[in-house]
Structures are given as structure tokens and as C-alpha cells.
Amino acid sequence: MAKAAIKFKDCVAQAEQIMGCIKRREFAPIYLLMGEESYFIDMICNALSESILSPSEQAFNQITVYGKDTSAAQVVNLCRQMPMMGSYEVIILKEAQQIDSIDKLSLYTSKPQNSTILIICHKQKNVDKRSALYKQCLASGVVLESVRPRDYEIEPWLVNFLRGKGLEISQKALRMLTDHLGCDIEKISNEIEKLLVAMPQGTKSITEDHIEQNVGISKDFNSFELCNAVAIKDVAKAMDIAQHLSANPKENPLLLIVINLFALFRDLFIINYLRWQERRKGVIFPSDMELMKILKKSNPYVVAELKRKATLWTSPQLFKILGLMREYDAKSKGIDSGSASEGELLRELLMKIFTQQ
């Protein structure tokens, strides 16, 4: 039976475990860092390249090669060299997905040397798990399968990431970041690093003002505020925000806005369905903690707000709106959109939402 696909939370836990071992200088002879999410691959590779050898040793014993510019045979030969004036020879193979006949690395991984540390960075996809290379790396070293987060997983990750740096973040600031940057961990981490440099020393909490001043996302005109205005049926505010977002479509693509609106109305629909089950079938409505798990939210305040907003919409309205989301998801990708601009499509979508009966 095939193994279940690794989950993002398991990937994060393993990456943290590997980073802990690196800090304790507990090194493996082989690191196979593979998968679609480049953030964890780069993080671990950088930590290894900076930690194993001292700067003076790196000049003699640390070699970085790239898949498109080298061959598996050359990498094997490099791995079999003995270190000069040091404990380890460190070989870093970047962009390993571009190397020809990567399975030939198994000529080395079948019997790795204690004096060599091989780091294989294989991005965009996994190494074939049926291959001898994968099995040997798993048996003799460390294998990280780096997976991308789903939309509902990014906020909990970011909260924990910031806590690791001694910071908290307001719910609005959190949504501003994730709504604007999506699930791109690399972009989010880069923006956080900029924030850490820009914020006054001793700052313990990131607010929407910090995001507006340093990331360039308006705290009043953003996808988070648009969703909130739509949810409470504030037509004037929603259309005003839409006008501002439409003025900069590259920073506020229609597809991302539709995705955020769909997530909102999906949650409202689920809440109303659970209330219908309670009324019609006697099924007990979930507690806030249970609802957090169902809706995959990390904050009870968010759940309380969703419950309040759900009372403003009927289930038939929400069902029709979810259909609109599918229609405008296609239009945001150029399907049946005609000559309408993204701004025109957004305003058209909002008016259809507000006029649902």
C-alpha cells in the first residue's frame, strides 16, 4: 500500500528537528532535500553550509555545484575526495533536478564516506521514492520532503514562525500579509525579515500599521477589508475598496481576491448548514473549539466573527454565491471574460453578490 502524502505540518516539524540537529552539530553524511516548497530546502542548505565548516575551512573543503553544469559522475568523484586540513569535505549539489541521470549518485550513496557530507537540493518535485538513490539516502542520511502549505495552513505557520522570533501579530495584520502574499512562504519570510529591521527595537507585536508602513499594504484598502465589508453587506465600503484595489491589479490580482471571497462564503455556508442540522435534525451545533477545527481556523475570535456574519445570509444565497465564485474564478483566468478588465469583473461580481435573493 502506498504511503500517505506527507502533510505540511509534518514537513515543518521535520525541518525544525533538522535545524535543531544542525545547531547541536549533529550532522548526517547525506542530506536529500526535495520537494515543491523551496523555502525549507534553502533554509536547511544555508544552515548546513554555514555551520559544518569554519570560514577558513570552507575555502578548501566546501564545494558547491549546480545540476545543469555538472554530472552525477563528477559529484561522485568530489564526494570521494578526502578533506584538506579539516574534519569534513562538504559537497553541495544545487538544482539537482536538472542533473542528468541523477540515479547514478547511488554509486556514492550506497557507501558514503564518514569524512564527506553530501547535500542534495532537489527542487520543484521529489526524487523517485522507488529509486535506489532515495532508499539509500533514507537509510544512511536525512531526507526532507518539502511540501507547500494549503491556504488554511499558512496563518498557523506564520504565527508560530513569529513566536519563534519573540513576536506576536494582530489578526488583521496576519490576514493583510497572507491575503496579499498568499501561500508563498519565501515572500512572507522576506517581508518579515524586512519588518524586523524596520520596526523599533523592543517591539513585541506586529500591527496593521507596521504592515502598512513597511510592506506597503494599505490597512484600509486590502482584500481582508473587502471580505469584511462584503460579509456585513456594506455595499458602499466594498465598492470603494474594490475601486482602490482595481487601480493596481498587479498587486491585487482578481484571482487572489476571488479565492479569498470563496473561502469566506464557504465558511459562512458551513456554519449555516450546521445550524440547519441543529434545527431540522437535532444535531448539536459545534462548540467554538470544534468549529475552529472544522473551519481550520487558529483563532476563536475569527470563529465568533464568522458566526455573527453568517446570520446575515441565507443558505440559498450562499449556495448561489459559491456558484458565482466558480464562475469568476474562471473569468479571472481569462475564460469567458470578454474584454472586461479585472476591475470591471470585480465590481460586477460584487454587485451580483449583493443582489442575491
Question: Could you read off the pLDDT of 119-138 as tens digits, one per residue?
Answer: 999 999 999 999 999 999 99
77-98 pLDDT, tens digit per residue, is 999 999 887 789 999 999 999 9
339-355 pLDDT, tens digit per residue, is 899 999 999 999 999 99
Inside any domain, residue 240: yes
Q: Are residues 276 and 203 in the same domain?
A: no
- Say which range, 178-182, 236-240, 288-292, has the weakest mean pLDDT: 178-182
Inside any domain, residue 2: no
Query: Which residues does residue 168 pair with via DSSP β-bridges, in sequence order?
Result: 205
Inside any domain, residue 3: no
CA dist 217 and 1 (Å) reads: 47
CA dist 324 and 352 (Å) reads: 8
251-281 pLDDT, tens digit per residue, is 889 999 999 999 999 999 999 999 999 999 9
Q: Are residues 67 and 80 in the same domain?
A: yes
Inside any domain, residue 1: no
Q: Are 101 and 68 in contact (CB under 8 A)?
A: no
Q: What is the pLDDT of residue 357?
A: 74
Q: Are residues 23 and 141 in the same domain?
A: yes
192-247 pLDDT, tens digit per residue, is 888 888 888 888 999 998 888 888 788 888 899 999 999 999 999 999 999 999 98
Q: What share of the chain is helix, strand, coil (3-state, %, to 5)?
A: 60, 10, 30
Kindly report the CATH number assigned to the domain that includes residue 206: 1.10.8.60
Inside any domain, residue 100: yes
Considering only CA atoms, which of 143, 135, 101, 98 is closest in space to residue 118? 143
- Write down the mean pLDDT value for the chain: 92
Higher per-residue confidence, 307 vs 301: 307
CA dist 137 and 121 (Å) reads: 13
Q: What is the pLDDT of residue 31?
A: 98
Q: Are residues 244 and 311 in the same domain?
A: yes
Is the pLDDT confidence value at 2 over 60? no
- Say which range, 67-81, 111-125, 249-263, 303-317, has the weakest mean pLDDT: 249-263
- Say which range, 21-25, 37-41, 296-300, 351-355, has the weakest mean pLDDT: 296-300
Q: Are residues 229 and 189 in the same domain?
A: no
In angstroms and rounded to an integer, the radius of gyration of the C-alpha atoms of the chain is: 25
Is the pLDDT confidence value at 145 over 90? yes
Q: Are residues 139 and 167 in the same domain?
A: no
Work out the average pLDDT over 158-185.
87
Domain C-terminal end among 178, 194, 215: 215
Domain C-terminal end among 171, 193, 215: 215
Q: Are residues 201 and 238 in the same domain?
A: no
Q: Are residues 131 and 163 in the same domain?
A: no
CA dist 81 and 94 (Å) reads: 19
SS3 126: coil
Q: What is the pLDDT of residue 4?
A: 60
The CA distances from residue 106 to 74, 140, 174, 306, 351, in Å, are 13, 12, 44, 53, 60
User: Total domain count for the chain?
Assistant: 3
Q: Which three cell numbers stand for residue 302?
A: 475569527
> What count of other Cβ atoms lies within 10 Å of the Cβ of residue 145?
19
Work out the average pLDDT over 326-333.
94
Q: Are residues 28 and 141 in the same domain?
A: yes
Higher per-residue confidence, 215 vs 74: 74
- Say which range, 62-76, 108-122, 198-212, has the weakest mean pLDDT: 198-212
> Which amino acid would we find at residue 260?
N
Inside any domain, residue 91: yes
pLDDT range class, residue 165, cuts 50, 70, 90:
confident
Domain that holds residue 13: 8-146
Kindly report the CATH number assigned to the domain that includes residue 280: 1.20.272.10
Is the pLDDT confidence value at 1 over 60? no
The CA distances from residue 101 to 2, 34, 149, 288, in Å, are 25, 16, 30, 53
Inside any domain, residue 294: yes
Considering only CA atoms, which of 332, 166, 314 is closest in space to residue 245? 332
Q: Are residues 259 and 185 in the same domain?
A: no
Inside any domain, residue 166: yes
Q: Are 252 and 245 in contact (CB under 8 A)?
A: yes
Which DSSP category does 97 fall into? Answer: G
Domain C-terminal end among 146, 174, 207: 146
Q: What is the pLDDT of residue 200?
A: 85
Q: Are residues 125 and 193 in the same domain?
A: no
Kindly report the CATH number assigned to the domain that includes residue 99: 3.40.50.300
Q: Are residues 181 and 73 in the same domain?
A: no
Taking the alpha carbons at both ends of the chain, their separation in whole angstroms is 49
Is the pLDDT confidence value at 112 over 90? yes
Query: Which residues does residue 90 pair with via DSSP β-bridges, in sequence order?
Result: 62, 117
Which DSSP category does 353 fall into? Answer: H
